[in-house]
């Protein structure tokens, strides 16, 4: 039952799988890896690189989104361990990426391939395996946290609805590049991309009754009620406003050619250099 599934995911996101602290901005929770604090830019570059990897392997980007949620939880929940470790942030993220590649994508990920191809010999096989185990232990083996993509409505046969959902998925992928949005509850993050997608689709199909403003409002109200979200809630508006800003920033950077290493389509070679 879809309603039960959504409510179950909401319970997960607010309890066992909740990111415990803002590890970038909370002074107590600042995590130092290899004597360098992970910055929002470094986090963005790592996720951009992961998007390139899954695109190259023809795997859904949901895998990369899952990996970055593992990284956020691992650092936030294991401050003392992270503070003392000598492992660099990129190795930690590679460990986080390997897990959903195996768990979600069902791939057989050989350590030799990760070491020689993905890491270009930067890290040994043993280092990668040890890091992966450290991440698993740091997450207490809890690997099933829902992402914002999981909260999007299931795919429909109607072309316009399928287009809307795919547009919303792209917005979620971009949103996860933004650290401040990455720490929000996934259900709240999923709601705003649908709003943005509705506006986008509405402009494309302007005048068509399928996307009349009244119909859009009723549809969004139905989704909010199903997900147990308050359309007028402060958190919804905060997330939505930040997402609109993030999408605007992404578009501006992309058009000006300054998005190198930041956009989901960043080339792998550039990303590795930045990392």
pLDDT for residue 48: 94
Residues 238 and 204 in one domain: yes
Segment 182-190 mean pLDDT: 81
pLDDT confidence band for 68 (50 / 70 / 90): very high
Residue 164 lies in a domain: yes
Residues 169 and 130 in one domain: no
Residue 52 lies in a domain: yes
Distance CA 25, CA 31 (A): 10
CB 72 within 8 A of CB 176: no
pLDDT for residue 51: 94
Report the chain's mean pLDDT, rounded to a whole number: 71
Segment 17-28 mean pLDDT: 66
Range of the domain at 110: 15-144
CB 11 within 8 A of CB 230: no
Residues 109 and 21 in one domain: yes
Q: What's the angle, vertex CA 150, arms to CA 56 and CA 38, rounded to 5?
A: 60
Report the CATH number at residue 114: 1.10.472.10
Residue 204 Cα distances to 19, 212, 244, angstroms? 37, 12, 18
- Per-residue pLDDT at 65 exceeds 90: yes
Q: Within 13 Å of residue 135, how many CA atoms lie on the same side as its CB? A: 27
Residues 191 and 135 in one domain: no
Residue at which a domain ends, from 105, 122, 144: 144
Residues 91 and 188 in one domain: no
Distance CA 101, CA 76 (A): 22
Residues 53 and 82 in one domain: yes
Residue at which a domain ends, from 144, 173, 205: 144
**For the chain, how many structural domains are there in total?**
2
pLDDT tens digits for 140-153? 888 888 888 887 76
Residues 80 and 161 in one domain: no
pLDDT confidence band for 36 (50 / 70 / 90): very low
pLDDT confidence band for 222 (50 / 70 / 90): low
- Per-residue pLDDT at 205 exceeds 70: no
Residues 136 and 178 in one domain: no
Residue 262 lies in a domain: no
Residues 155 and 219 in one domain: yes
State pTM to two decimals. 0.74
CA 238 to chain centre: 18
């Amino acid at each position: 039952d879809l309603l039960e599934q959504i409510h179950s995911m909401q319970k997960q996101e607010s309890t066992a799988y909740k990111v415990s602290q803002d590890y970038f901005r909370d002074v107590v929770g600042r995590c130092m890896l290899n004597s360098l604090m992970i910055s929002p830019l470094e986090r963005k570059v790592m996720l951009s690189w992961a998007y390139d990897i899954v695109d190259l392997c023809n795997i859904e980007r949901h895998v990369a989104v899952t990996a970055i949620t593992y990284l956020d939880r691992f650092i936030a929940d294991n401050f003392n361990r992270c503070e003392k470790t000598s492992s660099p942030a990129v190795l930690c993220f590679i460990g986080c990426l390997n897990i959903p590649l195996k768990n979600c994508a069902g791939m057989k990920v050989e350590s030799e391939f990760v070491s020689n191809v993905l890491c270009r010999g930067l890290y040994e096989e043993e280092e990668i395996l040890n890091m992966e185990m450290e991440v698993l232990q740091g997450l207490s083996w809890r690997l099933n946290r829902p992402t914002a993509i999981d909260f999007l409505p299931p795919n429909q046969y109607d072309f316009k609805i399928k287009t809307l959902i795919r547009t919303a998925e792209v917005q979620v992928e971009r949103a996860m590049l933004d650290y401040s949005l990455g720490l929000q509850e996934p259900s709240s993050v999923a709601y705003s991309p649908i709003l943005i997608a509705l506006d986008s689709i509405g402009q494309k199909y302007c005048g068509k009754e399928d996307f009349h403003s009244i119909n859009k409002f009723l549809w969004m109200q139905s989704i909010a009620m199903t997900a147990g979200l308050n359309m007028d809630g402060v958190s919804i508006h905060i997330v939505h406003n930040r997402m609109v800003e993030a999408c605007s920033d992404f578009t501006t950077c992309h058009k000006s050619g300054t998005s190198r290493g930041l956009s989901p389509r960043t080339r792998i070679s550039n990303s590795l250099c930045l990392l």
